[in-house]
């Protein structure tokens, strides 16, 4: 989002400096070298409905790097991995009543044909899903996803957030029976590199290893940022850092409006990335309903992007205070292999070639009931200061498309107020 905002501001005639705390640009889209394979630290995919992404790829001249591939979903439940994600697979789910299956099908159909989310926003996801699918449908298909992604917040998640996830992926289907997702040749780094190049060619400067320390404000007007023991002057400041970190940057501000940022919670993630000798499944993603596997699912990324060996992402969504967040990398890797060997009993520890673990304390915003009313305006009461992170995509979930949409809007709003 920060790179897109910088790019758009340059296109609109501003002079721009990007202050990046990490040693590389790209945020959660940044890559790492995984034994000679360039991979995202946190997986990404593109949907047919991701218009902001498609438009930016065209603008940057890299649309030819976008590839589409038919993918599928699996569902691991009661010790069995079965196909999932289309009407036939739903009807074939074992040990599930026909009424629950029919109600679930109607639920997905209704999500796909609904555009107004204002009333759902005032209902929690558990109540809403249960109303449509019954208690059996919620327990079988949704409880684990919410419990292992949001933990103590699981009963407070907005129904609108769930609806947007179903709708986005559903709109990417080629047909009722065929799912299709997109990826970039070279991964997300292809887009990051193109944006960095476009920024620098337009005179923008990107300063790595430069974490912001304070936003400088005087007489209710922003005038710069303190970062890396330097002061960076500016008439406008756009902050895209995680919202839980914002208050520290505003320590000199006494306004009560700062409290809005402290009411927004987030979940961390410890993401295990594995290279295996052989596939786990034919599926891109597998949802899991099994009390002995305390994760919402796994992503077999090599079933989307052609990278050579089998690459699997196992995301552990955890509040940073959760005991598991303190696990060593080796413990996460061992537990991840245990999970994969349950999904595919033919796998053994000898199939593990390599593994890496990446952690973020603030990865997933907790979009609670009536979350729209909790979000403060992107334009703060301070003249020239805008603040947003992935929570502001609501009711949409995190995606590159939403980063592009909001990043461009923030930059264009600067021009409107200039």
> Where do the structural domains in the chain lie, given as residue ranges?
2-69+184-264+369-417, 87-175, 265-365
* Both tokens assigned to 228: 């890396």
Tell me what pLDDT residue 172 has: 78
In this structure, of 192-196, 211-215, 254-258, the range with the lowest mean pLDDT score is: 254-258
Tell the burial category of 399 from Cβ atoms under 10 Å away from its Cβ (0-12, 13-18, 19+).
buried
Q: Which two tokens stand for residue 275?
A: 């290279």
* 378-396 pLDDT tens trace: 999 999 999 999 999 999 9
Calpha distance 244→228 (Å, rounded): 20
For residue 317, the model assigns a pLDDT of 97
Model pLDDT for residues 302-330, shown as the tens digit of each residue: 999 999 999 999 999 999 999 999 999 99
Mean pLDDT of 50-73: 96
pLDDT digits (tens, 9 = 90+) for 279-300: 999 999 999 999 899 999 999 9
CATH homologous superfamily for the domain 265-365: Protoporphyrinogen oxidase, mitochondrial; domain 2 (3.90.660.20)
Check whether 416 has a pLDDT greater than 70. Answer: no
Question: E-strand spans in 228-281?
Answer: 230-233, 237-239, 266-276
Judge whether residue 173 has pLDDT over 90: no
The three-class DSSP label of residue 8 is: helix
Q: Which two tokens stand for residue 85?
A: 């994600």
- Please state, rounded to an integer, the average pLDDT across all residues of the chain: 94
User: Does position 47 have pLDDT exceeding 80, yes or no?
Assistant: yes
User: Is the model's pLDDT at 254 over the cut of 90?
Assistant: no
Residue 253 has what pLDDT? 86
CATH 3.50.50.60 fits domain 2-69+184-264+369-417: yes
How far, in Å, CA of 362 to CA of 357, rounded? Answer: 16
Provide the sign of the torsion angle of the four alpha carbons 133, 139, 144, 146, taken in this order.
positive
Pull the structure tokens for residue 295: 């994760």
Q: Is the distance from CB of 56 to CB of 66 less than 8 angstroms?
A: no
Region 65-85: mean pLDDT is: 95
Q: Which DSSP category does 399 fall into?
A: -
CA separation for the pair 319, 151 (Å, rounded): 8
User: pLDDT at residue 114 above 50?
Assistant: yes
Q: Under DSSP, is residue 380 helix (H, G, I), strand (E, B) or coil?
A: coil
Can you tell me the distance from the alpha carbon of 65 to that of 238, in angstroms, rounded to the nearest whole number? 30
**What is the per-residue pLDDT for 418?**
43
Strand partners, 232: 225
As a residue count, the chain comes to 418
pLDDT at position 169 is 84
Pairing, β 310-318 against β 352-365: unpaired
Write out the H or E segment, with its range, that includes residue 40: strand 37-40
Asked whether the beta carbons of 343 and 280 are under 8 A apart, the reply is yes
What is the sign, positive or negative, of the torsion defined by CA atoms of 242, 245, 247, 252? negative
Task: Classify residue 35 by burial, with Cβ atoms within 10 Å: 0-12, 13-18, 19+.
Answer: exposed
Q: pTM of the predicted model, to two decimals?
A: 0.94
Residue 417 confidence (pLDDT) above 50: no
Average pLDDT over residues 51-72: 97
Q: What are phi and psi of 125, to 5 degrees?
A: -60, -40
Proportion of the chain above pLDDT 70, given as a percent: 99
The pair of structure tokens assigned to 352 is 């593990």
Do 239 and 215 contact (CB within 8 A), yes or no?
yes
pLDDT recorded at residue 399:
93
Give the whole-angstrom CA distance, residue 42 versus residue 269.
10
pLDDT higher than threshold 90 for residue 415: no
How far is the CA of 218 from the CAs of 5, 215, 254, in angstroms? 24, 10, 12
Using pLDDT thresholds of 50, 70 and 90, give the confidence band for residue 156: very high
Cross-strand bridge partners of residue 284: none
Average the pLDDT over 24-52 and give the result: 93
Task: Measure Cα distances from 130 to 4, 89, 150, 286 in Å.
Answer: 39, 21, 18, 22
E strand segments, 85-170: none
Q: Which of 119-123, 140-144, 174-178 has the lowest mean pLDDT?
A: 174-178
Pairing of strands 385-387, 237-239: parallel
List beta partners, residue 184. Answer: 66
Please, what is the Cα angle at 252 between 248 and 254, to 5 degrees?
100
Average pLDDT on 227-235 reads: 91
Q: Is 274 in contact with 43 (CB distance < 8 Å)? A: no
Q: State the Cα–Cα distance between residues 386 and 125, nearest whole angstrom.
A: 30
pLDDT over threshold 50, residue 144: yes
Reported as a single tens digit per residue, the pLDDT across 89-112 is 999 999 999 999 999 999 999 999
């Amino acid at each position: 989002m920060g790179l897109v905002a910088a790019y758009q501001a340059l296109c609109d005639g501003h002079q721009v400096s990007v202050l990046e705390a990490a040693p590389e640009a790209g945020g959660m889209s940044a890559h790492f070298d995984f034994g000679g394979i360039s991979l995202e630290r946190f997986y990404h995919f593109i949907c047919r409905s991701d218009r902001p992404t498609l438009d930016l790829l065209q603008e940057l001249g890299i649309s030819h790097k976008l590839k589409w591939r038919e993918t599928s979903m699996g569902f691991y439940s009661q010790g069995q991995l079965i196909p999932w994600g289309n009407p036939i697979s739903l009807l074939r789910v074992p040990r599930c009543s026909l009424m629950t299956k029919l109600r679930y099908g109607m639920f997905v159909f209704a999500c796909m044909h609904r555009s107004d989310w204002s009333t759902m926003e005032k209902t929690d996801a558990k109540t809403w899903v249960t109303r449509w699918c019954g208690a059996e449908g919620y327990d079988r298909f949704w409880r684990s996803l919410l419990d292992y992604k949001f933990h103590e917040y699981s009963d407070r998640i907005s129904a609108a957030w769930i609806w947007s996830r179903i709708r986005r992926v559903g709109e990417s289907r080629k047909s009722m029976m065929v799912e299709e997702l997109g990826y970039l040749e070279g991964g997300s780094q292809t887009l990051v590199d193109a944006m960095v190049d476009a920024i620098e060619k337009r005179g923008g400067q990107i300063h790595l290893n430069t974490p912001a320390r304070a936003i400088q404000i005087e007489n209710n007007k922003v005038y710069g940022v303190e970062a890396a023991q330097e002061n960076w002057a500016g008439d406008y400041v756009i902050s895209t850092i995680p919202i839980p970190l914002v208050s520290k940057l505003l320590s000199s501000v006494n306004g009560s409006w700062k409290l809005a940022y402290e009411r927004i919670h987030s979940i961390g993630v410890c993401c295990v990335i594995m290279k295996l000798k052989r596939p786990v499944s034919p599926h891109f993603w597998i949802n899991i309903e099994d009390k002995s596997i305390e994760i919402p699912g796994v992503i077999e990324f090599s079933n989307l992007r052609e990278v050579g060996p089998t690459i699997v992402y196992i995301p552990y969504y955890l509040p940073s205070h959760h005991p598991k967040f303190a696990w060593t990398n080796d413990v996460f890797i061992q537990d991840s292999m245990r999970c994969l060997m349950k999904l595919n009993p033919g796998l053994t520890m000898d199939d593990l070639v390599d593994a890496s673990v990446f952690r973020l304390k603030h990865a997933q915003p907790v979009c609670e009931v009536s979350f729209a009313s909790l979000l403060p305006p992107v334009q703060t009461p301070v003249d020239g200061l805008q603040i947003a992170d992935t929570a502001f995509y609501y009711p949409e979930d995190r995606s590159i498309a939403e980063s592009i949409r909001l990043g461009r809007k923030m930059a264009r709003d600067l021009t409107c107020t200039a």
